[in-house]
Structure 1
């Protein structure tokens, strides 16, 4: 399956997310994205640093928020491989695998728990197959 198919089918196609993007774990390239959900290079590098807990990136994310596709989100949870953030009734789920970072966006029509489960499940699958 192509990376775009993962975004279209396994993320957005479930109905639990309205946008998605897959970037390299190094934060240097976008592998697949939903049209109009454009993540900037500096946003990708910042996400890599937050997930790696490099320097004070995580502390800054707690205080200043996380920017994805030009939007600011308030970080609500940070775990070993996952970060969760919201903006009002919408939000993002960010999960790192061995070689990729998945970012799922849920809108007002979606449930946070379903969005989280969908994104985490795809990450589990990619890890299982070596990505």
Structure 2
């Protein structure tokens, strides 16, 4: 993993105080470019997430009915839009945003409002899109 990408995770996501675990996944390379310690979504889980944000209606329907798994935890999918996903498990949640080459995944703790977590992930996505990613 490149330390520049890790800075985005550490400073922009974790450093925001709204996200406690995060990763930047390249769907073109099918690897994480950066990942916070203790957060390890599987390749299969990321495959489902990538399918959903790329517009696969079957993957989205399955996640709505069966749940979305991230790092082994089942989340209830509550929103899946053109480039973003939000899912929750109790008072914690997962915010996802797609750029041209990456998927940003952020987990928020119970103490964070979902809207703040979503905004944090979406803002980084907008920044990376502006940089050509």
**2:45 alignment counterpart:** 43
- The Cα offsets for residues 101-129 of structure 1, whole Å up to 9 and x where unpaired, read as 00011001111111111110000000011
Map residues 108-127 of structure 1 onto 2, 5 A cutoff. 108-127=110-129
Count of aligned residue pairs for this structure pair: 131
Question: What's the secondary structure of 1:2's corresponding residue?
Answer: helix
Contact 1:27 1:41 in 2 (8 A): no
TM-score, with normalisation over the residues of structure 2?
0.94
Q: Contact 1:51–1:81 at 8 Å: present in 2 too?
A: yes
Q: Is the 8 A contact 2:55 2:82 kept in 1?
A: no
Q: Are residues 1:103 and 2:128 paired?
A: no
TM-score (norm 1): 0.95
Deviation at 1:27? 6.7
The RMSD of aligned alpha carbons is 1.3
Tell me the CA shift for residue 85 of structure 1. Answer: 0.3
Give the gaps of 5 or more residues in structure 1: none
